[in-house]
Amino acid sequence: MRALLLFAMVQLKHFLRDPIYLFFILVFPLVFLFIFGTIFGGSRDVNLTTALLNNSDTEFAQDFVERLKAQESQSLKILSDDLSFEDARLKMARGEIDSIIELPPGFGSVGQTAAQQGEESPAAVTQTTPPSVFLPTGQLRVYYDEGSPQAGQIVATIMTGILDQINGALMGTTPPLSVEQVSVGVNGLSQFDYIFSGLLSYVLMTMGIYALSQQLPAEKRSGSLRRIKATPFRAWQLLTGLALAYLLLTLLSAALMIGVSMVVFDFQMRGSWLVLAAFSIVSALAMIGIGALVAGVARNSNQATVASQSIAFPMMFLSGVFFPRYLMPDFLQNISSWIPLTPVGDGIRYITTEGVGLPDLLPQLFLISAWGIVAYVLAFRLFKWE
């Protein structure tokens, strides 16, 4: 045991003395943090640009255009240039605008007037004609690119809300049936707080699988492991010592990410830091065990790269770390619930956003521990010195 701990300390000192290695271990994960933090850490408003084409000569259409421009906000920018439909369509195809709003000819015209009632008197018209006959009518059109239908749906929703307000003002009544949106999320949590669990899970996986799986094959190629093999040092001691060294580096990288998230992106922690630390240690050890298995079996760096990517990529895309699992087909959801990274991401999210304790995380801890035990047993048995 003493030799194992000394080997771990030597490896840790070796890592800390290599500035390039430290850059990729500690700084490179922050790149993903700043990318996702910039996207999700700011305002939740959607920023859309649309072209407004007024092909109606009615007074109501002119007033509607002025009102729409007056209500222009950060979420919806109205392109003020006079464009033809073809020019606007070309801009949308190039990605310069997100959608097109068209007021077709006759938009806002009154359905029927007293003069159109023949010989009836104005009094008779007023008594027998529904009030809606004298209200402006028309159907506004929202065009969108088939490659990005979400933009058209958002603009159409905004236009529907504006027209509903106008209809209510014209009719003097409110619709009897309506929809109310109520958030049930935890007060004070931002979008970044919810995606932070995925970013931290990615760091734990990257440090465990990628970093360790590349080191041992390189040392096999250089022949340094042959000298260790000639000593009484055993394979399980070698892998365990490396696991301890990488565990400390992983926790250092995770602590750096948490610190940057709190300072730069105002990350709000709802759970216990001790629970998060304990859960992260178990998760990191499991990921390191998978990396040790790949590193022990691979004979060179090429084999290690292919093997690690074959394991890491499916976990990234199927575990719900970057893409919600509920969007997957049912059979993929059932399969992905058993892969190692899924309980890691779920557990960290439960801790950071819901304040869940360790007793409530027993299912996740059991699955993570099972994967870790299997990985270390196979790594010890299948390890190759050369």
**Model confidence over 355-367: pLDDT tens digits?**
888 889 999 999 9
Reported as type and span, the H/E element at residue 51 is strand 48-54
Which residue type does 273 have? Answer: W
Per-residue CA distances from 189 to 131, 232, 259, 266, 320 (Å): 48, 54, 17, 10, 19
Q: What pLDDT score does 177 carry?
A: 62
Q: What is the pLDDT of residue 72?
A: 65
Question: Which one has a higher pLDDT value, 341 or 37?
Answer: 341
Burial per residue of 143-175, b for 16 or more beta-carbon CB atoms within 10 angstroms, e otherwise: bbbeeeeebbebbbebbeeeeeeeeeeeeeeee
Helix (H), strand (E), coil (C) string for 192-253: HHHHHHHHHHHHHHHHHHHHHHHHHHHHHHHCHHHHHHCCCCCHHHHHHHHHHHHHHHHHHH
Can you say how many angstroms the Cα of residue 328 is from the centroid of all Cα atoms in its chain?
15
Mean pLDDT of 11-31: 70
CB 257 within 8 A of CB 33: yes
Closest Cα to residue 303, out of 242, 204, 386, 227? 386
**pTM surpassing 0.85?**
no
Q: Is the pLDDT of residue 126 over 50?
A: no
Percent of the residues in the chain that have a pLDDT greater than 70, as a whole number: 80
DSSP secondary structure of 173-195:
S--SS-------SPTT--HHHHH
Give the model's pLDDT for residue 118: 42
Closest among 321, 325, 95 to 195, alpha carbons compared: 321
Q: In the beta sheet, which residues pair with residue 99?
A: 50, 144
CA distance 160 to 360: 44
Give the tens place of pLDDT for each residue, 281-320: 999 999 999 988 888 888 777 888 888 888 888 888 888 7
Average per-residue pLDDT for the chain: 78
152 pLDDT above the threshold of 90 = no
- For 158-202, the pLDDT digits (tens) are 888 888 888 877 776 666 666 666 555 555 567 777 788 888 988
Is a pLDDT exceeding 70 seen at residue 7? no
Could you read off the pLDDT of 215-273 as tens digits, one per residue?
A: 777 777 776 777 777 677 787 888 888 888 888 888 888 898 898 888 888 888 888 99
- Pairwise CA distance, residues 162 & 68, whole Å: 8
Phi and psi at 146, nearest 5°, equal -60, -25
Per-residue pLDDT tens for 139-151? 888 888 877 777 7
Alpha-carbon gap, residue 92 to 99, rounded angstroms: 6
Can you tell me the distance from the alpha carbon of 15 to that of 24, in angstroms, rounded to the nearest whole number?
11
Give the position of tokens 């997957």: 328
Q: 293 and 242 in contact (C-beta within 8 Å)?
A: no
Number of H helices, E strands in the chain: 16, 6
Q: Residue 78 corresponds to which amino acid? A: I
Tell me the range of 118-132, 154-168, 182-196, 330-344 where mean pLDDT is highest: 330-344
Specify the amino acid at residue 42: G
Closest by CA position to 247, among listed 296, 209, 205, 284: 284
Amino acid at 208: G
pLDDT of 113 reads 43
Q: Tokens 């033809």 map to which residue? A: 84
**CA-wise closest residue to 162 among 51, 65, 57:** 65
**Ordered domains of the chain (ranges, CATH):** 2-41+190-382 (no CATH), 48-171 (3.40.1710)
Q: Which residues pair with 53 in a beta bridge?
A: 102
Distance separating the N- and C-terminal Cα atoms of the chain: 24
pLDDT tens across 55-113, in order? Answer: 888 888 888 888 887 776 656 788 766 778 888 888 888 778 888 888 888 888 886 44
Q: Are strands 48-54 and 76-79 parallel, antiparallel or unpaired?
A: parallel
